[in-house]
Structure 1
């Protein structure tokens, strides 16, 4: 199929979108709070996985899944939290983006719960040993942390997770029907001219 020229039917103004979709209910607007209350703190403390959205100075976006033991995110106070940057593949997509654009979004998931917690704020890459030492895992202290100044928190309705049946194991694909990740990895390397020796 040929590439579609999206600009032919593009909507470029919020007024146009609102004319089609309408306005949110007052309760939806007012559920957003500018700090971490006890409910937000509890949700963060029991969440083993979240997604971190960043963009660089040019606006190019990235979303990174972050998994850790529940309770390893440090909540400093009702306005700030710190995410440990655990060893990974060293791409540093999120870190590099934050250096040029501090605006971030986070979505926290809790297994079995269909609502998610969304947090928006501004991030700073930190190397404060006093903070990072408290975030050690298996005897290893993170080299860096991502400090978040919280600007907005709210729970997101359960529709996406409910409709996807994500927590219902009976709907999961059989392992033999799933993509072979090593095959995907090797094929993507080939597209970039790299072929691993067998």
Structure 2
């Protein structure tokens, strides 16, 4: 099985999505989400443009740029090319913090109608060393249908990327990916690949791609004020040679996202420049943020999934035990 084309085949390879993991999401913005949004100067927005293409853009500029007008409506900068009424997803970044907030919903002209919110584990940020020492590359720009020299050099230096996608019903997702530099591997001028690393075990991107292949990848390099956006179509590959070529820490990924490129755009991003993400002086003190284990505990209890199994999950969640296992998981399962 070199290409996975069905959800049943996907879950045989990467595993099913556990109920407790899926129950970490809620359908609104609670006080934890609001606190994280208050401290965030930037986020990656996955959206559909007026031509129907899947896109990804870093938006924001200052802390609190995304304003919750209600618990289900978020006002934020929307790209001019975006198509309101379509599925959109936001990956919220808090400088210096290892976790990320993911908010999914439907795009409005001035923001996002919230349908799902959850905290993503910090493994992608830890693997990428996203908040470590920053370096500055050249200021070259590039745009076209393939990776030219400038985009290839940027991609080779990028340790962090966000993949945006939608499922067959149009529900959107923005998933963080982190590795040592080269998180998105250039296979050729029109092909890149990203490995499936241990994370929150939702495997949203893979599930989406099986149903709808259009994706956008946004890559960043710490210290650089440019972003690299790649759009195209993807497959989930289990090709042995490809998987083995992407082995890290003596662990070979079970599957790889392989993207055939349609467009490439390497350009300065004003929101990234203004946000000061790479300035360590802007890193937020974790003591000023909600504790991740508390967020997950509270979100599990707020989740309204029906059934006896879900009731057992809500009744059994223990913040102290969850917190105790969190650092060990990050150390052992990067």
Q: TM-score range by the shorter chain?
A: 0.7 to 0.9
1:42 matches 2:153: yes
Shift of 1:169: 1.6
Q: Distance in 1 between matches of 2:185 and 2:144?
A: 20
Q: Deviations over 1:56-104 (max 9, x none)?
A: 1111100001011113533211111111111233211100000011000
RMSD after superposition:
2.2
Per-residue CA shift, 1:139-189, capped at 9, x if unaligned?
111110011000000123321111211111212222211221111110001
The structure with the largest alpha-carbon Rg is: 1
More strand by share: 2
| 1-structure distance, mates of 2:201, 2:290 | 24
Corresponding residue SS for 1:71: coil
- 1:101-140 equivalences under 5 Å are 101-140=212-251
5+ residue gaps, structure 1, are 5-12, 15-30
Where do 5+ consecutive residues of structure 2 fail to align?
1-69, 74-81, 84-141, 304-310, 321-334
| 2:259 match: secondary structure | strand
TM-score normalised to structure 1 length? 0.81
Distance 2:298 2:183 in 1: 35
Verify the 8 A CA contact 1:73 1:135 in the aligned structure 2: no
Structure 2 residue 185 is matched with structure 1 residue 54: no
Query: Do the aligned residues in 2 keep the contact of 1:84 with 1:144 (CA within 8 Å)?
Result: yes
Q: What is the aligned counterpart of 2:265 among 154, 160, 172?
A: 154
Change in Cα spacing, 1:155 to 1:186, as seen in structure 2 (3 Å) is same
Describe how 1:1-198 pairs up with structure 2 within 5 A.
32-192=143-303, 194-195=314-315, 196-197=317-318
* Distance change (3 Å), C-alpha of 1:148 and 1:165: same
